[in-house]
Structure 1
């Protein structure tokens, strides 16, 4: 098995060499080298050209009743690191600011354990690219990656949480994370001189009306118990203070704890946008992209077993948590396969996920591996 010192060195190497989604070629090669160091007696590896940086490792079980899957994401974010760590990112403008270096290290630790202790059930470890930007799990699924011996009956995953103590596991039954939908809208009017507004058609005025009106989508169309968020994060228009803007481009995100809520919000945003465009006599371009970012909903049976194990395991610190509005493309996989996702605490309460100062506590790695290998072993015995 990989020692704690080896795991920390692996994590630091991954942290120093972050790569954007679908470009994780160094990460892919490094992971393959680490996998090659492990006992190969029961291991097989699947890759596919459609998603070239993905790796699916299978460990054949000794007496399999099912195939369990464990997923880790491998990509980083376009963020310039500001931690000052001696092993800070060497790729300028790219950082593992969401803890995927931790996720990969824990996954390698799990793989290392079961490579030396053959599991009862078949076990898949999925090193998935492009969680942050191009929903790599859905891409791999759509390309036929999970078929035959490589099809899981259940899928599990974790995500680091800087607000929880190092090594603490947090989860819940039902929805853990929200679904997310990208929104891009353009209002197209007619540019002109600021002194002659009657000869132009101001796209900024139309777009500003849309931004104001869209705030009612959640408050007047979504059950307050369900929750939802519409955030407009980008608003681009204009070239000079005395020129009426002929086009305004808006980008935002929609988040909901249910897929039904997502569909209701999308419908009403489209209606409002079209109504504003019609009222101001403008052309409308509107595009939504949800991809694989569906709500992460923990299956009742698997999450019940998961929670029961974690609550009673002597070496696990476990907490029932509230749902969070963050999005995770594991939501797509959890809609295809039964399973459960959880938090792994990394004790950096001063910083949030995606912070350029995020500094997780490395003691969480060993604790996370212990908790997950124990759970998977217990699951296989049922």
Structure 2
């Protein structure tokens, strides 16, 4: 490739891994990325920082004969997970870990950028080092700040996510939705507390909450087309203070997952109907709130994705795997709802799954991923 050798890339990945930072606090990460980029050939590069999103970085690569501007996004934040890998370069930030592989993502992006810094691309390229993917929807924040305007607006956008279930360095993709959209759900049920011995004088929200949860189970099983995908999970229920007092309030917290925005909106509508029904049946106030933010389904653009998959299948240096959609969320979906593009997987072959404390992706995926992405971008620019 370019000046970043395999050994240099591994060193970068391990240094990023040692100092993970949470969403919107990636200041050391930002400084490290900026210093690394400034060491590259600057002839074709323009670096941009964003005052209102200070941990973000954009790099513009001037094309030699541009017909379009191609965007490439990588996320840079980590998770509140205490690492248990035992690696010599384990996280030195207490309670924080790159358990989703964003250190792999960043290193791969740096490798691709480094190549095009030394080999001027035909088309313009924009590299977006995005904060706050795991929470705070950094992609949506950047878009709403007007970051992608004028020469900084890509005509098409690409990005990857590592995948422990694919061989190291393999590229995975599919037409349509790659990742589900996600929406947080909070339900507050308000009745009347009272003595356990006199239920007739109270309005029990434990019973109302139980009925709400039971009825919600029928939404996916009876209101969603079995061919399509939808998930509703309530992972938290708080009610009451002591065993002999009837709970006058209850709070349920959960998440919706859907492979299309239409499906998420359908599930939201049905949840509202169930909430209204429980409120009427139990004479309670039921307040249901939804927060989707930027976590829309990652819906790959048909024409661009078809071209990407066709390249990956015929490229002798790329191992391609057609993948199924995943119910995990990714805020790249918001950017793809505004700018056409494609997200794909990079295999990292690990027994541990994403977000686990023992996640240890194979570093051999990095140079292979860089090679496949560079070859695709050069192929795309030749069109």
Aligned partner (choices 134, 140, 143) of residue 142 of structure 2: 140
User: Normalized against structure 1, the TM-score is what?
Assistant: 0.98
In the alignment, which residue of structure 1 is the partner of 2:185? 183
In the alignment, which residue of structure 2 is the partner of 1:158? 160
User: Normalized against structure 2, the TM-score is what?
Assistant: 0.97
Is 1:201 paired with 2:200?
A: no
In the alignment, which residue of structure 2 is the partner of 1:86? 88
Offset at residue 196 of structure 1 (A)? 2.2
SS at match of 1:214: helix
The separation in 1 between residues aligned to 2:74 and 2:312, in whole angstroms, is 20
Offset at residue 363 of structure 1 (A)? 0.4
The separation in 2 between residues aligned to 1:255 and 1:363, in whole angstroms, is 32
Give the gaps of 5 or more residues in structure 1: none
Offset at residue 293 of structure 1 (A)? 1.0
Offset at residue 166 of structure 1 (A)? 0.5
Offset at residue 327 of structure 1 (A)? 1.0
Instruction: Report the number of matched residues.
Output: 381
Offset at residue 60 of structure 1 (A)? 0.5
Aligned partner (choices 17, 24, 34) of residue 15 of structure 1: 17
In the alignment, which residue of structure 2 is the partner of 1:269? 271
Give the gaps of 5 or more residues in structure 2: none
Residue correspondence of structure 1 range 91-106 to structure 2 within 5 A: 91-106=93-108
- When the two chains are superposed, the root-mean-square deviation of aligned CA atoms in Å is 1.1
Is 1:376 paired with 2:377?
A: yes
CA displacement 1:122-150 (0-9 Å, x = unmatched):
00110011111111111100110000110
CA displacement 1:239-270 (0-9 Å, x = unmatched):
22222222211111101111111111000001
The separation in 1 between residues aligned to 2:39 and 2:197, in whole angstroms, is 72
Larger mean Cα displacement after TM superposition, 21-30 or 279-288:
279-288
The separation in 2 between residues aligned to 1:263 and 1:313, in whole angstroms, is 39
The separation in 2 between residues aligned to 1:3 and 1:117, in whole angstroms, is 15
In the alignment, which residue of structure 1 is the partner of 2:281? 279
CA displacement 1:261-300 (0-9 Å, x = unmatched):
1111000001101211221122222210111111111111
Offset at residue 220 of structure 1 (A)? 1.7
The separation in 1 between residues aligned to 2:51 and 2:64, in whole angstroms, is 30
SS at match of 1:210: helix
Residue correspondence of structure 1 range 1-382 to structure 2 within 5 A: 1-348=3-350, 350-382=351-383
